[in-house]
A and B are shown apart, each in its own frame.
With several copies, the nearest count.
Chain A
């Protein structure tokens, strides 16, 4: 048996078993890949909780059950508190080796589920909370969430003469959970699967609350080809709109500095939701990225 403490996960040693299989997700769904991979790390003793959202909608339609581990849908607002209950119940009943893990969308995390998440972090509940970020309310048909990036077209942030997609910046969930003094937090991307797997593995060993924010493209909502999901997820990191980082023990760690960024323009215009953006708007996004990276490079460890 491997020493769980030191296991470095690769495609070779990753569990062969599938715990999320036969779901009704769209072809090329980044979110379902994020769920699938995390469960391969956490294994059969996962007690998964998923709020209303794409992953629960596609995973549990009686009598078709796509999760092979224990899993449950929570209320949209209740992911973290239901997880807390699962963890507390398991502890009270003496169940060992359980991973109480949640998979919630961006809306279920940064909007309606934020308060319960904050409560769990505050209690240092031993739960792993994974936010798969597809940057809108997808299950209900692509409405703006607070994690929808500026400029993105959604059905409630339309594009026309008066509005040009979402007008507010993306909420900084990673920084917000870090400001809580959470036990462990990380950002990740399905475009960087090994980094993501390592972070899930790390979270599974944390005595307290872990939060992983994994970027998970949605071909339907973003308007790219289903085959491009991984590329888009990589490009977001390469162009600097997404950074791979961790927060632990009171400090930030940048896991990966792309150095020269790839083109934000290409990243944006490759997706239907951004195709209306003009040069000026793109420049503004570039400027924002640059100022954020300045701060990151200045303040975060690497």
Chain B
């Protein structure tokens, strides 16, 4: 592997990736547990290793607005946020995606007030699933690094032109140090060429941007946006392919399956908690239990086909998520279930495990219990808080 091995936190890995992606404009606002990303970036701008305009904005709404403005003149842009900050820029998130500005954002997944809490759950990003952003969820710092670089390539792809958000679990990923391979700048430059777009203010050929479209036309823009997001699935796979060839690390597309081949019971989850499931799967497999893990890497575009294919043989599926849509169930569960309903064939057991809210620990023992629950035949409450 070329490049350099470094012992970095998830946030530092993200900052390192951003440096290599060379965004021309960065605007962000501090919030725990995102802050160290923008601190590192400030240092890089200071020490000259990153030639970006770095805007000290007064809020997240302005952070993303500034990125939209910069993207609207054709600049590559980056921002980062979390939780309250993400919600404070919610209007701009829809704005950026509707305007097809391929901004890349790092989101440090964190619980949403009230009650206040700075720890990692995923209600922040999942509650904005409909905002038109590509949503990726990393499991470890290396994947966060790689996803970040790929996110620029995918978002800026002419068939996609859609903003992308890379999610890291607060603290569990953002503040945990581990080994990360950081490639050579020249390799990243080759992988990720300069951003060019026709969707920008052009001194030679002036345009109107961000206009009004009435009832006759509006839906067409929305439909195109949907199609572009759908197209991003293929673009993500191609980007991973190219990435693998150049950097030697390959990724499996929108979902990753772990020992799912002949699995009867599968836990579906996303983000870093997959790392807690993995050794439990190994342990149970070693005692002959047919269990597996399916990790959703992208929530948008939603990998319904991949999911169904991977889970075709499973009789019991448990969706484990750090999120709850009050008055129904976990949002990931809802999405997964729809994929099943659309095929007409759901697994016999379909359970929802809600955990990790506000950073509540999810232990290997918890996971073992979940697999046990998936083995019990019927009569279970669908939504269980663990």
Contact = CB atoms under 8 A, between A and B. Distances in A.
Q: Do A and B touch directly, given a CB cutoff of 8 Å in the complex?
A: yes
Contacts of B92: 75, 78
Contacts of A97: 203
A89 B27 CA distance: 11
16 contacts: A61-B212, A65-B211, A73-B113, A81-B57, A82-B65, A84-B57, A85-B25, A85-B77, A87-B69, A88-B53, A89-B24, A93-B73, A143-B39, A156-B56, A157-B56, A162-B48
Contacts of A75: 61, 65, 84, 91-92, 95, 113
B257 interface: no
A65 B208 contact: yes
A83 B47 CA distance: 27
B58 A140 contact: no
Contacts of B115: 62
Interface of A: 44-45, 47, 49, 52, 56-57, 59-63, 65, 67-78, 80-93, 95, 97-98, 110-112, 114-116, 118-119, 122-123, 137, 139-141, 143-144, 146, 155-163, 168
B72 A89 contact: yes
Interface stretch (B2-10, B28-36, B159-167, B331-339): B28-36
Chain B interface, DSSP helix/strand/loop, else mixed: mixed
Interface residues of B, number: 61
Contacts of B202: 70
A70 B201 contact: yes
Given A71-B208, A119-B62, A85 B70 contact: yes
A135 to B, nearest CB: 14
A143 B35 contact: yes
B217 A62 contact: yes
Nearest to A114: B58
A-B pairs, top 7 by smallest CB distance, nearest first, are: A85-B69, A89-B70, A78-B65, A81-B62, A119-B58, A85-B66, A89-B75
B326 interface: no
B74 to A, nearest CB: 6
B207 interface: yes
B364 to A, nearest CB: 28
Q: Which one of A57, A65, A81, A93 has the highest number of Cβ atoms from chain B below 10 Å of its Cβ?
A: A81
Contacts of A77: 59, 61, 65, 88, 91
Nearest to A162: B46
Contacts of A93: 24, 73-75
B69 A89 contact: yes
A281 to B, nearest CB: 16
B71 interface: yes
A252 to B, nearest CB: 25
Contact of B208 (A44, A72, A85, A112): A72
Given A62-B213, A86-B73, A112-B58, A72 B25 contact: no
A75 B46 CA distance: 31
A140 B29 CA distance: 11
A83 B65 CA distance: 9
Contacts of B109: none
Nearest to A66: B208
Interface string B14-51: 00000000001101011110011011001101111000
Given A61-B214, A92-B24, A78 B62 contact: yes
A83 B69 contact: yes
Nearest to A47: B201
Given A76-B84, A86-B72, A140-B31, A160 B46 contact: yes
Contacts of B209: 70-73
Nearest to A115: B58
Given A68-B206, A156-B56, A49 B69 contact: yes
A72 B55 contact: no
Given A60-B212, A65-B211, A88-B53, A155 B62 contact: no
